[in-house]
Amino acid sequence: MAPDDMAMRLKEIQDKVSESLQYSIDSLVTLREEERERLFEIRTRREGVQKELNEVIVASEKAEAEYRRSRQVLLDASRSGNESREKEAYERAMNLMKIRGAFEEREKHLAAQRDDLDREERRIERLIARSEEMGNRFRVVLNLLNFSIEDEGSGTLSPEQKEFSAGLLLAERESISLSRELHDGPIQKFSAAGLMIDLAGEFLSRGDFGKAKEELARTRSHIGDALEEFRSFLFQLNPTGLKEGFDVALSRLVAQTSSLSGADVRYAVEGQSDLISLPMRTTVFKIIQQAVVNAVKNGKARRIRVLVSIGREMLRVKIVDDGLGFDVEKVRSEAEEKGAWGLVNMEDRAAMIGGEFSVLSEPGKGATVSLAVPLPVKR
């Protein structure tokens, strides 16, 4: 087969495979959105069941207390020899026993229903995570497939293609992670706010202005929290202030983290930020940002310290927290299974700028994240 014919044939195959991959990606996106809607419904139902279960438990305890009192009344009536009083006490005790039994049955039913919803929630979460990961892989393959086939004869990717592939994979992971956090965070809060407004409207229609006012106050708080989280997401996507150096961006990161979590977060920068190019500065900042987010979100840290030291030949970063700590190797090995790419993303970012990255941590002992990046020597 002539070289031109071979190239044309490869292009045809490439187009067909690309079309199939794109169809699979679109199908996964549709599936994921459907399951996310289903997940929201499950969580809403679960919240309602849990609320009813709590009310039934309280009512059951009250019925139990009333039943015990009625038995004492029956005992006293029996001892008094007053048959009319004894009959009345007996009927009341029997009635309360039936009510108590009905509450107990309802409690068992609701508890079983809640457990079923919990299992369904976990199943859907696993399905969404797997579909995200599959879509991630398909997109990487699709983009790699769409490279020029000129280098196919060598059987290897060029350094530029490898770097592009690594950056693409990193971007896809971050996109999936932010999408998941956006859906489970502020979007859920806005959805809940909608339900609260409906409930406030119901209270108003009944003339219960006190409860309506309380519900609207909760709604306002929910919306405020959601807006704060949205600002945090926007800052993660596009950290501002890095053109002026590290100080402005780190100051905003510290302020946002402290506001959302209540943690004591502080930073210090030593050296001249203008010795570092903006792309490298951005990459280093995103590593710091991920480490701080991990410390608060996963480690529940209350104290975080960030130190950036810039020398003539080396940039060094250290992030220390007093959080729960974790098994580093276990987290790294389970990243793909759980879709938790924070640690892996930091390692990949460090590798892209030629840096050395390390994490020291143990369960119960906090974590220390370190980064060392050689700086180009200016002549």
Residue 288: predicted pLDDT? 92
Give me the mean pLDDT over the 232-258 stretch. 76
Asked whether residue 284 carries a pLDDT value surpassing 60, the answer given is yes
What is 241-374's CATH number?
Answer: 3.30.565.10
Q: Between 21 and 4, whose confidence is greater?
A: 21
* Nearest Cα residue to 293 out of 309, 304, 307, 282: 304
State how far the Cα of 88 lies from the Cα of 300, in Å rounded to an integer.
58
Asked whether residue 121 carries a pLDDT value surpassing 80, the answer given is yes
* Nearest Cα residue to 248 out of 230, 263, 256: 256
User: What Å distances lie between residue 373 and 19, 169, 196, 282, 303, CA to CA?
Assistant: 41, 22, 50, 13, 25
Q: Are 129 and 173 in contact (CB under 8 A)?
A: no
State how far the Cα of 287 lies from the Cα of 349, in Å rounded to an integer.
7
Residue 92: predicted pLDDT? 81
- Tens digits of residue pLDDT in 149-189: 444 444 454 554 455 555 555 555 565 556 555 655 566 66
State how far the Cα of 136 lies from the Cα of 131, in Å rounded to an integer.
8
- Tens digits of residue pLDDT in 39-74: 888 888 888 888 888 888 888 888 888 878 877 877
What is 1-150's CATH number?
Answer: 1.10.287.2610
Asked whether residue 370 carries a pLDDT value surpassing 90, the answer given is yes
Residue 378: predicted pLDDT? 58
Going by pLDDT thresholds of 50, 70 and 90, the confidence category of residue 303 is very high
Going by pLDDT thresholds of 50, 70 and 90, the confidence category of residue 83 is confident
Residue 167: predicted pLDDT? 54
